Chains A and B, each alone.
Chain A
Amino acid sequence: MAILTKDEAEQILKKVIGFSKADGIQASLNGNDGGNIRYARNSVSTSGEDSNVSLAVQSYYGKKSGTATINEFDDASLEKVVRRAEELAQLAPENPEFMEPIPQPTYGGESKTWAEATAKISPEFRAKVAADSINPAAAKNITAAGFLDDNRGFNALMNSKGLYAYNKATSANFTVTMRTNDGTGSGWAGSTAADVSKMNPSLASKTAIDKALMSRNAKALEPGKYTVVLESSAAADLVRLMLNMNARQADEGRSFYAKKGGGTKLGEKIVDERVNIYTDPWHDEVPASPWANDGQARKRMDLIKNGTVANLFYDRYWASHKNVAPVPFGGNTIMEGGTASIEDMIKDTKRGVLVTRFWYIRPVDPQTLLYTGLTRDGTFFIENGKIKHPIKNFRFNESPIIMLNNLETLGKQERVVTSEGNPNGFIPSMKIRDFTFSSLSDAV
Chain B
Amino acid sequence: MKRRDFIQLTGMSAGAMMLPFSSFGSPVDVSRLLEPMLDAAQKKQLADIALNTTKSLGATYTDVRIGRYLNQFIFTREKKVQNIVNTESFGVGIRVIANGTWGFAASNSVTPDGMKKTAERAVAIAKANSKFQKEPVKLAATPSYGEVSWKTPIVKNGFEVPIKDKVDLLLATNAKALEKGANFVNSIIFLVNEQKYFASSEGSYIDQDIHRILPSFNVNAIDRASGQFKSRPGFSSPVGMGYEYLDGKSEDKINGPGGIILYNKSYDIVEDAGMAAEQVKQMIAAKSVEPGKYDLVLDPSHLWLTIHESVGHPTELDRVLGYEANFAGTSFLTLDKWQTKKFNFGSKQVNVVADKTQVGSLGAVGYDDEGVKCKQWDLIKDGILVNYQAIRDQVNIIGQNESHGCCYSQSWSDVQFQRMANVSLQPGKEQLTPAQMVAGVEKGIYIVKDGSFSIDQQRYNFQFGGVLFFEIKNGKIEGMLKDVAYQANTQEFWNSCSQICDARDYRLGGAFNDGKGQPTQSNAVSHGSATARFNGINVINTGRTI
A96 touches B80 (CB 8 A): yes
Mark the stretch among B40-48, B319-327, B373-381, B473-481 that contacts chain A. Answer: B319-327
Find B452's partner among A42, A131, A364 (CB 8 Å cutoff): A364
Chain A residues whose CB sits within 8 angstroms of the CB of B225 once the complex forms: 260-261
Is A362 an interface position by the 8 A CB rule?
yes
Find A359's partner among B18, B32, B324, B456 (CB 8 Å cutoff): B456
A368 touches B454 (CB 8 A): no
A145 touches B129 (CB 8 A): no
Q: Which residue of B lies closest to A173 (CB)?
A: B518
Chain B residues whose CB sits within 8 angstroms of the CB of A67 once the complex forms: 17-18, 27, 85
Chain A residues whose CB sits within 8 angstroms of the CB of B458 once the complex forms: 442-444
Find B332's partner among A149, A362, A365, A443 (CB 8 Å cutoff): A443
Among all A-B residue pairs, the 6 with the closest Cβ atoms: A99-B15, A260-B227, A441-B461, A69-B26, A145-B325, A443-B458
Given contacts A40-B322, A149-B519, contact A95 B85 (CB under 8 A): no
Report how far A41 CA is from B135 CA in the complex, Å.
11
Q: Which of A352-400 contact B (CB under 8 A)?
A: 359-368, 370, 372-374, 376, 393, 395, 397, 399
Find B80's partner among A43, A52, A95, A99 (CB 8 Å cutoff): A95
B456 touches A40 (CB 8 A): no
A149 touches B20 (CB 8 A): no
A-B contact pairs, 24 of them (CB 8 A): A28-B17, A30-B20, A32-B22, A45-B323, A46-B415, A48-B104, A56-B26, A67-B27, A67-B85, A68-B27, A68-B29, A88-B29, A92-B84, A97-B80, A99-B15, A127-B131, A246-B12, A261-B225, A293-B16, A317-B14, A359-B456, A365-B483, A440-B461, A442-B460
A179 touches B322 (CB 8 A): yes
Contact indicator per residue, chain A 31-70, by CB within 8 Å of chain B (1) or not (0): 0100010111111111110101011101000000011111
Mark the stretch among B150-158, B253-261, B344-352, B537-545 that contacts chain A. Answer: B537-545
Contact indicator per residue, chain B 307-323, by CB within 8 Å of chain A (1) or not (0): 00000000000000111
Is A254 an interface position by the 8 A CB rule?
yes
Is B396 an interface position by the 8 A CB rule?
no
Is B339 an interface position by the 8 A CB rule?
no
B222 touches A254 (CB 8 A): yes
A143 touches B325 (CB 8 A): yes
Q: Which of B453-471 contact A (CB under 8 A)?
A: 453-461, 463, 465
Given contacts A38-B518, A96-B80, contact A315 B323 (CB under 8 A): no
Chain A residues whose CB sits within 8 angstroms of the CB of B15 once the complex forms: 97-100, 294, 315-317
B540 touches A438 (CB 8 A): yes
Chain B residues whose CB sits within 8 angstroms of the CB of A42 once the complex forms: 134
Q: Which residue of A lies closest to B14 (CB)?
A: A97
Is B385 an interface position by the 8 A CB rule?
no
Min CB distance A147 to B, Å, is: 4
Report how far A87 CA is from B519 CA in the complex, Å.
35
Is B279 an interface position by the 8 A CB rule?
no
Is A253 an interface position by the 8 A CB rule?
yes
Contact indicator per residue, chain B 405-427, by CB within 8 Å of chain A (1) or not (0): 00000000101000000000000
- The residue in B15, B222, B323, B485 that gathers the most chain A C-beta atoms within 10 A of its C-beta is B15
A441 touches B456 (CB 8 A): yes
Can you add 10 more A-B contacts, CB < 8 Å, to A41-B321, A373-B454, A397-B542? A48-B105, A56-B27, A84-B29, A179-B322, A252-B184, A254-B184, A258-B224, A361-B454, A365-B543, A395-B454
Is B199 an interface position by the 8 A CB rule?
no
Contact indicator per residue, chain A 119-147, by CB within 8 Å of chain B (1) or not (0): 00001000100110000000000010111
B227 touches A261 (CB 8 A): yes
Contact indicator per residue, chain B 332-369, by CB within 8 Å of chain A (1) or not (0): 10100000000000000000000000000000000000
Report how far A68 CA is from B128 CA in the complex, Å.
38
Q: Which residue of B lies closest to A438 (CB)?
A: B540
Is B228 an interface position by the 8 A CB rule?
yes
Is B226 an interface position by the 8 A CB rule?
yes
Q: Which residue of A lies closest to B28 (CB)?
A: A68
B17 touches A294 (CB 8 A): yes
Q: Which residue of A lies closest to B225 (CB)?
A: A261
Chain B residues whose CB sits within 8 angstroms of the CB of A364 once the complex forms: 452, 463, 465, 485, 542
B29 touches A260 (CB 8 A): no
A258 touches B13 (CB 8 A): no
Is B19 an interface position by the 8 A CB rule?
yes
Report how far A36 CA is from B13 CA in the complex, Å.
31
Is B57 an interface position by the 8 A CB rule?
no
Min CB distance A247 to B, Å, is: 12
Q: Which residue of B lies closest to A270 (CB)?
A: B546
Contact indicator per residue, chain A 299-332, by CB within 8 Å of chain B (1) or not (0): 0000000000000000111000000000000000
Chain B residues whose CB sits within 8 angstroms of the CB of A316 once the complex forms: 14-16
Chain A residues whose CB sits within 8 angstroms of the CB of B483 once the complex forms: 365
Chain B residues whose CB sits within 8 angstroms of the CB of A104 once the complex forms: none
A69 touches B20 (CB 8 A): yes
B19 touches A56 (CB 8 A): yes
Chain A residues whose CB sits within 8 angstroms of the CB of B37 once the complex forms: none
Is A71 an interface position by the 8 A CB rule?
yes
Report how far A145 CA is from B327 CA in the complex, Å.
9
Q: Which residue of A lies closest to B106 (CB)?
A: A50
Find A147's partner among B16, B453, B518 (CB 8 Å cutoff): B518
Report how far A36 CA is from B104 CA in the complex, Å.
12
Given contacts A56-B20, A69-B20, contact A254 B413 (CB under 8 A): no
B224 touches A262 (CB 8 A): yes
Report how far A40 CA is from B318 CA in the complex, Å.
10
Is A26 an interface position by the 8 A CB rule?
yes
Min CB distance A162 to B, Å, is: 16
Given contacts A67-B85, A71-B26, contact A402 B229 (CB under 8 A): no
Chain B residues whose CB sits within 8 angstroms of the CB of A32 once the complex forms: 22
Min CB distance A419 to B, Å, is: 9
A360 touches B14 (CB 8 A): no
Min CB distance A151 to B, Å, is: 11
A359 touches B457 (CB 8 A): yes
Given contacts A143-B322, A145-B322, A260-B225, contact A399 B452 (CB under 8 A): no
Report how far A236 CA is from B226 CA in the complex, Å.
30
Contact indicator per residue, chain B 129-157, by CB within 8 Å of chain A (1) or not (0): 10111100000000000000000000000
Min CB distance B275 to A, Å, is: 20
Given contacts A97-B14, A179-B325, contact A368 B546 (CB under 8 A): yes
Chain B residues whose CB sits within 8 angstroms of the CB of A92 once the complex forms: 81, 84
Chain B residues whose CB sits within 8 angstroms of the CB of A440 once the complex forms: 461
Is A91 an interface position by the 8 A CB rule?
yes
Report how far A397 CA is from B541 CA in the complex, Å.
10
Is A105 an interface position by the 8 A CB rule?
no
Q: Which residue of B lies closest to A60 (CB)?
A: B15
Report how far A143 CA is from B321 CA in the complex, Å.
11
Is A228 an interface position by the 8 A CB rule?
no
Report how far A359 CA is from B14 CA in the complex, Å.
32
Is B125 an interface position by the 8 A CB rule?
yes
B222 touches A253 (CB 8 A): yes
Q: Which residue of B lies closest to A248 (CB)?
A: B12
Q: Which of B270-301 contact A (CB under 8 A)?
A: none
Contact indicator per residue, chain A 386-422, by CB within 8 Å of chain B (1) or not (0): 0000000101010101100000000000000000000
Is A338 an interface position by the 8 A CB rule?
no
Q: Which of A166-214 contact B (CB under 8 A)?
A: 175-177, 179, 183, 188
Is B195 an interface position by the 8 A CB rule?
no
Chain A residues whose CB sits within 8 angstroms of the CB of B131 once the complex forms: 127
Chain A residues whose CB sits within 8 angstroms of the CB of B84 once the complex forms: 88, 92
Is A439 an interface position by the 8 A CB rule?
yes
Report how far A293 CA is from B538 CA in the complex, Å.
46
Is A157 an interface position by the 8 A CB rule?
yes
Chain A residues whose CB sits within 8 angstroms of the CB of B129 once the complex forms: 44, 47
Q: Which residue of B lies closest to A87 (CB)?
A: B29
Is B60 an interface position by the 8 A CB rule?
no
Is A93 an interface position by the 8 A CB rule?
yes
Is B487 an interface position by the 8 A CB rule?
yes
Q: Which of B71-87 contact A (CB under 8 A)?
A: 80-82, 84-85
Chain B residues whose CB sits within 8 angstroms of the CB of A44 once the complex forms: 129, 132-133
Chain B residues whose CB sits within 8 angstroms of the CB of A40 once the complex forms: 322-326
